[in-house]
Structure 1
Amino acid sequence: MTTVGIVGGGILGLAVGREVTRRWPGARVVVFEKENRVAAHQTGHNSGVVHAGIYYRPGSLKAELCARGRLLLRDYCAEHALPYDECGKVVVAVDAEEMARFDALEVTARENGVPDLRRLDTAALREVEPHAAGIAALHSPRTAITDYVAIARSLAAGIEAAGGEVLLSTAVTAVRRTAASVEVTHAGGSTRVDRLVLCAGLQADRVGRLAGDGPSPRIVPFRGDYMAVSEAKQHLVRGMVYPVPDPRYPFLGVHFTRRVGGGLEVGPNAVLALAREGYHRSAVRLPDLADTARWPGFWRMAGTHWRTGARELRGSLSKRAYMRVAQRYVPEIGAADVLRAGSGIRAQAVERDGSLVDDFRISTADGVTSVRNAPSPAATSSLAIAEHVVDRMAVAG
């Protein structure tokens, strides 16, 4: 019997586990998760958006796997009675200075085959989002929202129903490759597996090094803060309202998003986090901070983008500054209409030269497949990434 070990109980690791049980009947799947629950980190702290593929470089893994992943996720939610709401999204240009980026974004979205995409003028934008401000917009009606924690729990249950194991509170501390297997040392002892998949998210570089991966890229954590809109103003946004992103950065900018459980949120921004798993502004973990400070790529990145970093930090410290940016898109929702809500941490991979790794990065060698970079839209793409990973494992033999 083939045994496949998976490090990481977020949506991506669990999706890989499910795909193994589907593709290789009889294989044993063992998921190692260091927390006492699945979906504890990036999966459980995102905005719940199911992306339609507007932003990603045509021909990239992101573009390919987001398009397929959205369809797979939609069908999975329907099959398992999980929430999935195609409330739609508008990406809004608010002034003439943004139009060159807006036009380029439309070209990208159409090359990626974003379904039912429409370009809107001001009047048409008001028909879709009556309270949004802008001179042009891209409307993506198939962009959806879901509950990724519920999906992760469903995936975990499916793995266990197929005879696999999801081991909680089981941190992996060492990985040793042998001629015939891979030995995984963890909090509960050790387990021998035939193949190992690393889906460690915020700890991807550290777990990768346990398995012999190189030091680059390194994870630099960015915290994204959310604001919750008061009930009295939630009706002002029907679906989602996004800005035109700056192509120099992998972050999409502060936006308005409905949640499947009810309510409306604004965010996230993107500020350097002082702890990889610190979901509060005051959270500091010295080993994480030291890891960031020792990485030459961080300082090169900071030297290039310090102005943007300072602007994001102002928004994080001041609710008024934060909402001043958001009000460009929905002027009737201001600082008095929101309360600070939760935060998420993005695992951003940074190369030694300071460049931000944009595309998914997945490598396979000697029985170990390592997912070194899987930022947004990884949740949207998770079932398609799982197919890709298992395909790679099959080819490697």
Structure 2
Amino acid sequence: MSRSVTRPVELGTVPTTPLTEAVPLSLCAREPHVPADRLVAEMVPPPRFDSVRFDTYVPDPKQPSQTEAVTVLSSFAAGLGGAHATGSGRRRWFAKKPAAPAAPRGVYLDGGYGVGKTHLLASLWHATPAEPALKAFGTFVELTNLVGALGFQQTVQTLSGHRLLCIDEFELDDPGDTVLVSTLLGKLVDAGVALAATSNTLPGKLGEGRFAAADFLREIQGLSAHFRPLRIDGEDYRHRGLPEAPPPFTDEQVTKAAYATPGASLDDFPQLLEHLARVHPSRYGALTDGLRAVCLTDVRPVPDQSTALRLVVLADRLYDREIPVLAAGLPFDRLFSDEMLKGGYRKKYFRAISRLTALVRDAKGLVDQ
């Protein structure tokens, strides 16, 4: 089957083709380098969650835990309105009596994918009465990359003056991250920084099924001690009451739509997966800068777990930035093998399927029917 060839355009270059033909961009042609100051400046809720608030969260009436979460988080935000706490003064945020043992200095939103955890986390960030420069919001991957870019001590110094650190998609995939994050959060709590995180795994079970968590039990328990778990039950709101996602289009339809959509990218899916291995996941957000749509041809099963985990991060960044995805080939709910969907990363994979399916639904209007 013949197919139009993607012509990649490097960032900042000017197409030489006639103005009447929109030349698709290519993710595979991009290898962004993100300076450390941008990493810090971008620690705010992503575009999809820039305008969310507690009063825009719609709890499922069948799930009282969702309403409870709004109440608890609203009170938590209100309690962060005083002067930045240091030393023994920080206990006033969380302890009812000065003599009582220190309570967890954070909240941990646990629940399945699609129950609105990121919405609530971003709402907490917005509701906390502090200047944006005194609040930080980022994914777990972005936080660990900040340490890599700034160094551990500089990261502690940079974040210690904050009132609140929000960590989305909290996961521990290897022992090194366990020790790093445990030590970092301990330093920040000692400096009086409040913590909030989302995950699909209870803090005491982080790392379970992915590495020998028992060997790092002390670090994991230390992480758990920083948080008050807040369970949020419910079904995936992204597909609640909505029609099924459209079936995949043909390569020709996707290619035609890419050329007809200014700011769209066009890539062969297997080639994109290979390219992701050459770009650090912390740069996947920058990889999508300026895109209005992502068009993919020849979508097929993900070959291995390392590739699958990189794809999960890309799916998260596309979803955060509300970039529609138009695809030809295999439906996204068949990307991951049965073995992957039963393994330790299964919740990540189901989240990726949920988010990609929502983005596919958003892209339906790009194809002429």
- The two structures have a TM-score, normalised by structure 1, of 0.25
More strand as a share of residues: 1
| Structure of higher RCO (CA pairs closer than 8 Å, 6+ residues apart) | 1
- The two structures have a TM-score, normalised by structure 2, of 0.26
More helix as a share of residues: 2
